[in-house]
Structure 1
Amino acid sequence: MTKEQDELAAVFRSESGKAVATLVRMLGDIDLAEEAVQEAFVRALERWPLEGIPPSPAAWIVATAKNRAIDVVRRESTREERYRRRAALEGEDGSQADPASAVAERLDQPVGDDQLRLVFTCCHPALGMEARVGLTLRLIAGLETRDIARAFLVSEATMAQRITRAKRKIATARIPYRVPPSDELPERLSAVLAVLYLVFNEGYSGTTDATRPDLAREATRLTRELHRLLPEEPEAAGLLALMLLTESRRPARFDEAGNVVLLADQDRARWDMGLIREGQGVVRACLRRGRPGPYQVQAAIAAVHSDAARFEDTDWRQILALYDQLFAIMPTAVVELNRAVALAEVHGPAAALAVVDGLPLERYHLWHATRANLLDRLGHADQAHGAYAAAAALTQNPAERAFLLGKARS
């Protein structure tokens, strides 16, 4: 790739979600916003190699997308109807002003958090849960449909249909583009938290990129804002703590060559103690509330890990007890897989392998990787190598794939 193409790819990853959210706020039209942003990137691909990279690439993309959207609105034959629809979506009074002029006048006005508003719009209860999460990952995180489908273990065609239906539902039902009033927040909360956590995970250990710090930071920022909106909601606090404690390990996750470093081998002196102290403080506040939920329990598990100066000092019995609590709240196969890791440390790899082998997660690369580790610890080297190879075949993350292939060949 050329320098301009590399820069454009980086700008798309970091700015496309923000640009779409800004245009949805102005236009109340998700499809038009997406099309305008995509066209802006196409124009950048054509012009940047000839004219050079602009001083502020992100601002260039946003301005170009805005101009494109304004042109489309001006050409709209039923412009009064479009303006009334936009006004209804934004909760305005629906005056007779020219819609393109109205858009232009709003370009530099200070606004609230466009992305958080878009998250709440996409997580409206009129949409199915998986559609809410998939649509928001597409719009906010800028993930490709194939990557979202992989995260949900469904086909790309199935996920594309869900996203298309969700956008159509928002348009036809005139779902407002706003953070809902306080009495409506609780019914949206579970989907919003799920979306933010998935965005964070994509940033921490991406589907196709080794890591996306920009996405993780953005998910954490949006979660802080959500916690500010709902200070008495313990699960919002729990998710924030979980993100902070997980993010604290980022500096130690890779060596200088970009190779994966497992938790057991990480240099804990490189962990971010500021994030650890903040995250542990939030966990303690959650415990005082006495209203445990899945994000709070996961944050408590991360807090126990962060307490150990060395891997050997980890209180695995406490972690296993917390996983028992988490499984009682959220009895999923993935939770049971993670619990098996703690079970192996407390009761040995054979007990853990018996649990792992009974889980229906053959399409999940971490199931194969966990199984491989347990087989290796039990002395079944040939079977372990095969399981590592199977795990490598199921991940698109280049750093993970290189690590797993290395283990398969060792």
Structure 2
Amino acid sequence: MAEAAHRAAERAARESYGRLVAFLAARNRDVAGAEDALAEAFASALQTWPESGVPDNPDAWLLTVARRRQADAARRQATRKAGEAHLTMIADELGEGGDRGPIPDRRLALMFACAHPEVEPAMRAPLILQTVLGLTAVDIAAAFLLPPATMGQRLVRAKARIRDGGVPFAEPEPEELPERLDAVLAAIYATFTRGWTDPLDSGPERLAEEAIWLAQVVVTLLPDSPEAKGLLALMLYAEARSGARRDSAGAYVPFERQDTSLWDRAAIAAAEAMLHAANSSGPTGRYQIEAAIQSAHLARRLGGKDTWPAVVQLYDVLMRLSPSPVVLLNRAAALAEVEGPEAALRSLESIAGDKRLDTYQPLWAVRGYLLAKAGRKAEAHEALSLAIGLADDQAVRQYLMQQRAALADG
């Protein structure tokens, strides 16, 4: 099947390339952008067709995928421009005097300004994400497990209250920073997660790298904050593995199968040092625990230690500090390694009716994994099919299709 797929892709490139580029460039006259989108479509075809088969109309398949890539690129560009416009507007509010205040990075100053005490606490981080960092309501909604329409309405209401209430946008004084820190850290982490999960987040403007930079500035600004250090450690642990998440062909590689020689040991060492500093700085918080979980996972892969019991215990602590269905889901995946898949599935019963998770792709991927591990093949097939349908990343989708196909092979 792989040979037939490659032949079909080569034939489409030979016979239809020019016509497809013309179709794609017809709307905006951007030939270079059309060629980039089509190149990504061909790369996707070479990954997908060997597994799923050559479509009946390869040209139409390529055109559909390329147009989707064009739409993604346009959305990202529009989001960036919108973010710049919001940034300019708030910068005018803050003023452009020679004295920039205590915060050296202008974006970070704007983030702390948006975390004003008179802004509803639950909306401070979303407001930062849209106004300063330029994320769309769709992206923000995904980060907070809300429907995009609901998040959009809440953002509109929050901005209206700010306008009608005359909330001043001013760079806070140093003594005001700690009370605004939680919202800023939440926004930075949501930005990192958005970039980390986006296969198109690459190049010099990577969201993940921007988030790490902002966290580094926060740590410099508030050196006594254990949670700022914990967040930076957490992101450094994840970023250290970025080069191993795809193989040379672009296929997704799960954590337990990653080539550890590709991990960035300097970043891991920096993360370990930052976590140690965080634990020495004060009370333990959410980000410190999440960083400790990552440290335990890396210790298992690098040192061969059985850290699964410790990971479950850390998730228990995290559930007490910051209870959420996402934490419970991650705990279930770890619990399966300690007590078996049936115990893990039972632990998820409490969130079975949570409507927020109906379209949360990781839930169905984890359920599919646990059900397959428990030998419940029909249920696993259904869960994996849902996970495949909800996956935005083509490489992840391909990996899940392989896991579903493996059910038939026992």
TM-score, length basis structure 2: 0.73
1:284 aligned to 2:276? yes
Tell me if the contact between 1:250 and 1:271 (Cα under 8 Å) persists in the aligned partners.
Answer: yes
| Structure 1 position 90 matched with structure 2 position 95 | yes
Counterpart of 1:377 (choices 373, 379, 382) is: 373
Q: Secondary structure at the match of 1:358?
A: helix
Q: 1:17 deviation in Å?
A: 7.1
Q: Is the 8 A contact 2:188 2:214 kept in 1?
A: yes
Is contact 1:146–1:156 with CA below 8 Å preserved after alignment? Answer: yes
Task: Evaluate the alpha carbon distance shift between residue 21 and residue 303 of structure 1 in structure 2; reply closer, same or farther with a 3 A threshold.
Answer: farther
Q: Distance in 1 between matches of 2:369 and 2:111?
A: 38
Aligned partner of 1:388: which letter?
A: L
| Closer, same or farther: CA 171–212 of 1 in aligned 2, 3 Å | farther
Partner of 2:323: 331
SS of equivalent to 1:217? helix
User: Are 1:13 and 1:142, in contact at CA under 8 Å, matched by a contact in 2?
Assistant: no
Alpha-carbon distance in structure 2 between the residues aligned to 1:384 and 1:330 = 29
Q: Do 1:235 and 1:296's aligned partners in 2 also have CA atoms closer than 8 Å?
A: yes
Q: Hey, what's the Cα distance between the residues in 2 that align with 1:14 and 1:249?
A: 27
Deviation of the 1:283 alpha carbon: 0.8
1:19 counterpart = 2:87? no
Alignment of 1:203 onto 2:191: no
Q: 1:406 to 1:118 in 2, by over 3 A?
A: farther
**Does residue 187 of structure 2 align to residue 182 of structure 1?**
no
* Aligned CA distance change for structure 1 residues 257 and 142 (closer, same or farther; 3 Å): farther
Q: Aligned-pair distance for 1:26?
A: 4.3
Would you say the 8 A contact 2:137–2:151 is kept in 1? Answer: yes
- In structure 2, the residue matched to 1:346 is 338
State the distance in 2 between where 1:384 and 1:11 align: 35
Partner of 2:253: 261
CA distance, structure 2, for counterparts of residue 381 and residue 246 of structure 1: 32
Match of 2:110 among 86, 108, 118: 118
1:405 to 390, 401, 406: 401
Q: How many percent identity over aligned positions?
A: 37
Q: Is the 8 A contact 2:371 2:380 kept in 1?
A: yes
Residue aligned with 1:363, SS:
coil
1:155/1:407 Cα in 2 relative to 1: closer, same or farther (>3 Å)? same
Deviation, structure 1 residue 138: 2.0
Structure 2 residues without counterparts, runs of 5 or longer: 1-23, 25-30, 37-69
Shift of 1:21: 6.0
2-structure distance, mates of 1:311, 1:17: 46
Q: How many angstroms apart in 2 are the aligned matches of 1:20 and 1:345?
A: 48
Instruction: Please tell me whether the aligned partners of residues 260 and 400 of structure 1 are also in contact (alpha carbons under 8 angstroms).
Output: yes
Equivalent pair of 1:369/1:387 in contact (CA under 8 Å): yes
Contact 1:90 1:176 in 2 (8 A): no
CA distance in 2, matches of 1:388, 1:142: 33
Distance 1:252 1:27 in 2: 43
Contact 2:240/2:267 (8 A) holds in 1? yes
Once the two structures are superposed, residues 353-392 of structure 1 have per-residue CA deviations (whole angstroms, 9 ceiling, x without a partner) of 1112332333321111111111111122222111011122
- 2:244 is the alignment partner of 1:240: no
Aligned-pair CA distance for 1:318: 1.6
- For the 8 Å contact 1:202–1:215, the answer to whether it is kept is yes
* Counterpart residue number, 1:366: 362
Q: State the distance in 2 between where 1:157 and 1:374 align.
A: 32
Map Cα deviations across residues 127-146 of structure 1 (whole Å, 9 max, x no partner).
22342222222234432222
State the partner residue of 1:86.
none
Kindly state the Cα deviation for residue 309 of structure 1 after the two structures are TM-superposed.
3.9
Residue 265 of structure 2 is matched in structure 1 by 273
Shift of 1:344: 1.1
Q: Structure 1 residues 290, 231: closer, same or farther in 2, change over 3 A? A: closer
235-244 or 315-324: bigger deviation:
315-324
Following TM superposition, by how much is the alpha carbon of 1:178 offset from its aligned partner in structure 2, in angstroms? 4.2
Q: How does 1:38-187 map to 2 (within 5 A)?
A: 89-90=94-95, 112-187=104-179
1:153 & 1:181 partners in 2: Cα distance?
33
**Larger displacement relative to structure 2 (246-255 or 151-160):** 151-160
Residue type at the aligned position of 1:323: Y
Q: What's the C-alpha RMSD, in Å, of the aligned pairs?
A: 2.8
Displacement after TM superposition at 1:210 (Å) = 5.2
For residue 278 of structure 1, report the CA deviation from its aligned partner: 0.4
Q: What is the identity, as a one-letter code, of the residue corresponding to 2:328? A: E
Query: Equivalent residue for 2:32?
Result: 3
Q: Secondary structure at the match of 2:366?
A: helix
Deviations 1:309-362 (A, max 9, x none): 459544112212211111121222211111111111111111111112332333
Aligned partner of 1:307 in structure 2 is 299
Name the CA shift for 1:146/1:162 in 2 (closer, same or farther; >3 Å): same
Count residues with an aligned counterpart.
Answer: 331
State the secondary structure of the residue aligned to 2:113: helix
Q: Secondary structure at the match of 2:350?
A: coil
- In the superposition, the TM-score normalised over structure 1's length comes to 0.73
* Distance in 2 separating the partners of 1:125 and 1:402: 45
- 2:226 touches 2:278 (CA, 8 Å); kept in 1? yes
